[in-house]
Amino acid sequence: MTQLISIVIPVFNEQDNIPVMIKALQRELGPLPYRYKVIFVDDGSSDGTAAVLKQQASMYEEVRFITFSRNFGHQAALKAGLDMADGDCVISMDGDMQHPPHLIPLLLSKWKEGYDVVYTVRKEDERLSYSKRQTSNLFYSLLNGLSDIDLEKGTADFRLLNRNVVNVLRNLQEYDLFFRGLVKWAGFKQLAVDYEPDERRSGESKYNFKKMMRFALQGITSFSTKPLYAATYIGFLFSLLSTLYVPYALYSRYFGEAISGWTSVIVTIAFFGGLQLMILGIIGIYLGKLFMQSKQRPVYIVKESNI
């Protein structure tokens, strides 16, 4: 029987891009010797995305959709798509046309060569602003430096997963998901493919600096306890440094030299107070993840679907 390819596409306020994406996928997948289904996951869009998906699903048999009850985030949408996909392999990609559909035949050819995971690495796009490129580089530097995984700079959520890998990811019970790290952590036979991103057809990027930093912290705390060790080491270091103040205090006490005034004391208190709050914040992030995981709430809630 002809093998089935599932395409999972999370979308959020992408009503204008959906018809363009479907046409592009039909153009690329139509000539290939595979059956395919396209699963759009509407992550609680506030525009007409849900209505467009219903319309397109009524026009094309291969189009499926899942609509969330609210916005649960990109990673939750990916999880929903993987949970519903029944293909022999699953290709995930964004719905803004920046992940080029013309790369899909290459991903499939590498899959047929025996690779379980074929992931893409974005080449640096000179069209992006300097700040955007530096933010992206900072994201991967922080992630690789403070976690136990090693992701190439530019690693994207545009990837092909074999059915055995999909089954592993579907069975994970994590609440705070970070699929770029989970795919790397899972192992199997993996291959990276470079690509140049296409221009966004319409709309605007959903990732600002704040979301990128939160995404980095999510990845770091999901795959490493290094920040906790770092906090411990910093505590030990400053405890040792503080002992250097003891000889000075004793000297001043017995030889009658006045110790510096309140300004130095206030600065010291403010510094160590900030350091303690930072360390407590690190510990709090890990405790918060445990708290949310212990609730065992679903990662997403489906409002409507044609699957």
What is the radius of gyration, based on Cα positions, of the chain? 25
Taking each helix axis as running N to C, give the angle between helix 130-146 and helix 226-242, from 0 to 180 degrees, rounded to the nearest 10: 80
pLDDT at 160 over 70: yes
pLDDT on residue 299? 81
Percent of the chain with pLDDT strictly greater than 70:
63
pLDDT at 176 over 80: no
Q: Report d(CA 22, CA 57) in Å as an integer.
A: 10
Check if the beta carbon of residue 180 is closer than 8 Å to that of residue 151: yes
What is the arithmetic mean of pLDDT over 131-157? 68
User: Rounded to two decimals, what is the model's pTM?
Assistant: 0.72
Start-to-end Cα distance in the chain = 21
Q: Report d(CA 278, CA 233) in Å as an integer.
A: 13
pLDDT at 13 over 90: no
Q: Report d(CA 2, CA 88) in Å as an integer.
A: 10
pLDDT on residue 292? 67
C-alpha count within 13 angstroms, C-beta hemisphere, residue 241: 8
Burial class for 206, CB neighbours closer than 10 Å (0-12, 13-18, 19+): middle
What is the arithmetic mean of pLDDT over 115-140? 71
With bands split at pLDDT 50, 70 and 90, how would you rate the model's confidence at 120?
A: confident
Residues paired with 6 in a beta bridge: 37, 90
pLDDT on residue 307? 82
Convert the pLDDT of each residue in 49-87 to its tens digit: 888 999 888 888 889 999 998 888 888 899 999 989 888
Convert the pLDDT of each residue in 200-253 to its tens digit: 555 555 555 566 666 666 666 666 666 666 666 666 666 666 666 666 666 666
Residues paired with 63 in a beta bridge: 38
Write down the residue that tokens 């999370």 correspond to. Answer: 10
What is the arithmetic mean of pLDDT over 137-146? 66
Q: Report d(CA 48, CA 262) in Å as an integer.
A: 61
> In which element (H, E) is residue 159 found?
strand 155-162
pLDDT on residue 174? 77
Check if the beta carbon of residue 82 is closer than 8 Å to that of residue 166: yes
Check if the beta carbon of residue 226 is closer than 8 Å to that of residue 149: no
Domain 4-129+150-202+298-305, CATH class in plain words: alpha beta
